[in-house]
């Protein structure tokens, strides 16, 4: 069972499930097959951390099995196809057993892919048929696992609504150290995540001055969570024709962990308008 989450995790899952429901309603009279892709599906048994209080502990226990995958297969109207991706073969096997027990009638529609998101998600996206299908992708990572090239592969497929849990506080803001000195591997990781190196120029101010010993460079971190959120939303806007204006900050004990963002790859203004209305409404909280 994954030990991850708390009230903030519920908030994120509620938002995405509400979107999936509204998505079905909005497309119910269209002739599309609807596909759900869970890019970090987990083992289906996300553990919410309750408090000391017994009622909370009981509630937490009841919520143990309601991760993103279970929520998606339990919607009033099922998707035509489900793709579940996770790096951990063990988690995927546990999820499969759980979902097949829960919804045996959907067995033929469920596909399980063990492997890295940066390999499996682009492959799954390429298997979609833009003429017949419409898809929602949910990327719910622990941290910095998604490379920018994977985001570009999602954006290149013109039928995808994309929910992304961006590790703004948990990883990006922490890895971008105050001094600007960070292990090379951290800088390289942010480069792969952002798909460019220029974030350094936006997140840090460099000033040069002269002193007795010559020219010195001072580096000041100007990025805070808000700047990082704005910056990443703007990056998404370079890949997708639509990025929802609103976003949802997820905090634990006052600390920002993630920011939930939404983007849509559909070039049709009507499809984008609809997706943006629903997503912005839900992201308002
Ligand atoms: C936050 S959990 C997912 C929770 C799930 N969405 C839920 O609601 O229960 C993250 C999952 O990502 C998987 N994971 C971590 N790195 C990965 C990678 N590079 N590619 C695919 N899956 C990965 C982990 O095995 C873990 O199960």
Q: Determine if ligand 1 sits within 6 Å of the CB of residue 4.
A: yes
Alpha helices in the chain (DSSP H): 7-26, 54-63, 68-73, 89-102, 117-126, 148-155, 173-175, 184-194, 199-203, 225-239, 269-283
Q: Determine if ligand 1 sits within 6 Å of the CB of residue 147.
A: no
Cross-strand partners of 207 = 218
Alpha-carbon Rg for the chain in angstroms: 20
**Going residue by residue through the chain (285 aa), what tens digit of pLDDT does each one get?**
454 567 899 999 999 999 999 999 999 999 999 999 999 999 987 655 544 444 444 444 444 548 999 999 999 999 999 999 999 999 999 999 999 999 999 999 999 999 999 999 999 999 999 999 999 999 999 999 999 999 999 999 999 999 999 999 999 999 999 999 999 999 999 999 999 999 999 999 999 998 888 888 899 999 999 999 999 999 999 999 999 999 999 999 999 999 999 999 999 999 999 999 999 999 996
d(CA 14, CA 212): 60
Q: What pLDDT is recorded for position 234?
A: 98
CA of 93 to the centre of ligand 1 (A): 13
Q: Which CATH class is domain 7-176+225-283?
A: alpha beta
Angle, nearest 10°, between helix axes 148-155 and 225-239?
50
Residue nearest ligand 1's atom 2 by CA? 42
Q: Is the dihedral of CA 23, 28, 30, 33 positive or negative?
A: positive
Q: Determine if ligand 1 sits within 6 Å of the CB of residue 246.
A: no
Q: What pLDDT is recorded for position 212?
A: 83
15-18 contacts, C-beta under 8 A, 24 or more apart: 15/163, 15/248, 15/260, 15/282, 15/283, 16/68, 16/71, 16/138, 16/163, 16/260, 17/68, 17/71, 17/72, 17/75, 18/282
* Largest distance between two CA atoms of the chain: 78
CA of 258 to the centre of ligand 1 (A): 15
d(CA 98, CA 141): 21
**Which atom of ligand 1 approaches the CA of 88 most closely?**
25
Q: Is the dihedral of CA 38, 27, 34, 79 positive or negative?
A: positive
* Ranges of each domain in the chain: 7-176+225-283
Of 65, 90, 141, 189, the residue with max ligand 1 atoms within 8 A of its CB, to mutate for a pocket test, comes to: 141
Q: What pLDDT is recorded for position 56?
A: 46
Residue nearest ligand 1's atom 27 by CA? 42
């Amino acid at each position: 069972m994954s030990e991850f989450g708390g009230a903030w995790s519920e908030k994120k899952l509620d938002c995405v499930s509400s979107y999936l429901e509204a998505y079905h309603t909005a497309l119910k009279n269209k002739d599309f097959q609807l596909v759900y892709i869970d890019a970090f599906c987990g083992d289906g048994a996300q553990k919410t951390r309750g408090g000391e209080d017994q009622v909370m502990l009981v509630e937490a226990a009841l919520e143990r099995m309601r991760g993103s995958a279970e929520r998606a297969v339990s919607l009033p109207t099922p998707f035509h196809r489900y793709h579940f991706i996770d790096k951990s073969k063990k988690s995927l096997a546990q999820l499969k057993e759980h979902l097949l027990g829960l919804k045996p009638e959907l067995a033929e529609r469920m596909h399980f892919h063990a492997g890295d998101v940066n390999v499996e998600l682009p492959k799954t996206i390429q298997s979609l048929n833009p003429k017949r299908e419409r898809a929602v992708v949910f990327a719910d990572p622990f941290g910095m696992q998604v490379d920018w090239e994977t985001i570009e592969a999602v954006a290149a497929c013109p039928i995808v609504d994309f929910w992304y849990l961006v590790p703004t506080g948990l990883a990006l803001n922490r890895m971008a150290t105050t001094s600007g000195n960070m292990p090379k591997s951290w800088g390289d990781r942010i480069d792969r995540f952002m798909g460019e190196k220029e974030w350094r120029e936006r997140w840090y101010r460099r000033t040069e001055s002269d002193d007795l010993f010559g020219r010195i460079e001072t580096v000041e971190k100007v990025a805070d969570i808000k700047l990082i959120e704005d910056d990443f939303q703007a990056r998404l806007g370079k890949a997708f024709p639509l990025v929802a204006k609103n976003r949802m900050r997820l905090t634990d004990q006052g600390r920002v962990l993630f920011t939930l963002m939404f983007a849509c790859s559909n070039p049709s203004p009507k499809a984008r308008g609809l997706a943006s209305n629903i997503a912005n409404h839900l992201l308002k909280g």
